[in-house]
Amino acid sequence: MSKKKDRSESEEIRDLKRQLRQKELELKKEKMRADFYQTMVDVAEEQLGIDIRKKVGTKP
């Protein structure tokens, strides 16, 4: 019974490590997407000479 318990615990640890790696990859991907968006807005504002981002305190 102890071996079965150890095996299930090790399987659970392995699954948790796999899930952690997956979440880390998702986070990295999301950070890259956010950086790309930020850069795209910066370039567009510079090239077009307009403000794209909404200013704090302005009414829609």
| Residues ≥6 apart with Cβ < 8 Å to 51 | 45
0.95 exceeded by the pTM?
no
Contact 33, 40 (CB under 8 A): no
| pLDDT tens, position by position, 8-57 | 989 999 999 999 999 999 999 999 999 999 999 999 999 999 998 877 77
Alpha helix segments (H runs only) across the chain: 2-48
Q: In which element (H, E) is residue 49 found? A: none
pLDDT at 58: 65
